[in-house]
Structures are given as structure tokens and as C-alpha cells.
């Protein structure tokens, strides 16, 4: 089993889709990494040699921010918005949608269980 950036990749998947299990790598980034290392998209994860895994890891470290560092960076960006007191920061602080969705009838995921007001 290949372990890249602290994530165990699923053995039977093609490597271009297996790399997407790493936080911060989507399909497009996965293909760019494989092009840079010269590894075929159709190769399965269990078919990778140690040299292939090392090359992929080296390419990811050189050109991508992934996993813990990326999660920390996103959290710091959200915290900065909240500290600024911007509209988006206030929405994050209150636990409401911050990308312009309506909240009168939807947004139950962010708002939580309904709180009935005025019922006797």
C-alpha cells in the first residue's frame, strides 16, 4: 500500500484517482503531478514501485501545499476574516452560510435543528 503525505492510498484504484485521497489534491493537480513525474495515469496504486512513490512525494513537497499545512492555512484564513470583522467573518462566527445562500427556508446544515418560536 502506498503512503503519500501521511495518507494510505486505496490499492486497487488508478493512481490518478488514488492521489485525490490526499487533502488538497484534486484530479487536475493529480494529473499534473503524474505528468511531471512521468508515471502513467492507468497504473494501479499497488503497481507503483518505491521509486515511483518517492518521485510523487518529492513532486508534491516541491509544488503543492497538502494535508496538515493546508488545513492550518485555511483555518488561519477563516480566523483572519473573523478578526477583521468582515461580513464573511461574522457569518463564520455565527455558523451561517457565507456565500450568499438564502437562509429563510434552507441552510439547516449550518443552522442546526429548528428552534420553534412562539408555539404554546
The reply to whether 117 falls in a domain is no
Q: Are residues 75 and 41 in the same domain?
A: no
The answer to whether residues 56 and 14 belong to one domain is: yes
The span from the CA of 120 to the CA of 118, in Å, is 6
Query: What is d(CA 90, CA 2) in angstroms, rounded to the nearest whole number?
Result: 42
Domain at 20, CATH number: 1.10.8.50
Grid cell at residue 41: 495515469
Q: What is the pTM of this model?
A: 0.80
Q: Please tell me the total count of domains within the chain.
A: 2
Where residue 100 sits, what CATH number does that domain have? 4.10.910.10
Residue 50 is part of which domain span? 3-65
Residue with cell 490526499: 22
Give the distance from CA 111 to its chain's centroid: 23
From first to last of the 120 residues of the chain, give the pLDDT tens digit.
789 989 999 999 999 999 999 999 999 999 999 999 999 999 999 999 999 999 999 999 999 999 999 999 999 999 999 999 999 999 999 999 999 999 998 999 998 998 888 876
Same domain flag for 50 and 74: no
**HEC assignment per residue over 15-54:** HHHHHHHCCCCCHHHHHHHHHHHCCCCCCEHHHCCHHHHH
d(CA 80, CA 83): 5
Residue 47 forms part of a structural domain: yes
Residues 13 and 36 in one domain: yes
- In a shared domain, residues 10 and 47: yes
Please report the pLDDT score of residue 120 as a whole number.
65
Amino acid at each position: 500500500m502506498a503512503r503519500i503525505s501521511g495518507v494510505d492510498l486505496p490499492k486497487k484504484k488508478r493512481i490518478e484517482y488514488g492521489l485525490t485521497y490526499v487533502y488538497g489534491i484534486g484530479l487536475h493537480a493529480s494529473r499534473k503531478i503524474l505528468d511531471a513525474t512521468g508515471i502513467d495515469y492507468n497504473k494501479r496504486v499497488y503497481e507503483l514501485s518505491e521509486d515511483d512513490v518517492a518521485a510523487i512525494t518529492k513532486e508534491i513537497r516541491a509544488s503543492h501545499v497538502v494535508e496538515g499545512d493546508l488545513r492550518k492555512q485555511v483555518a488561519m484564513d477563516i480566523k483572519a476574516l473573523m478578526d477583521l470583522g468582515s461580513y464573511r467573518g461574522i457569518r463564520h462566527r455565527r455558523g451561517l452560510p457565507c456565500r450568499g445562500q438564502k437562509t429563510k427556508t434552507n441552510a439547516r446544515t449550518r443552522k442546526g435543528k429548528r428552534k420553534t418560536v412562539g408555539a404554546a
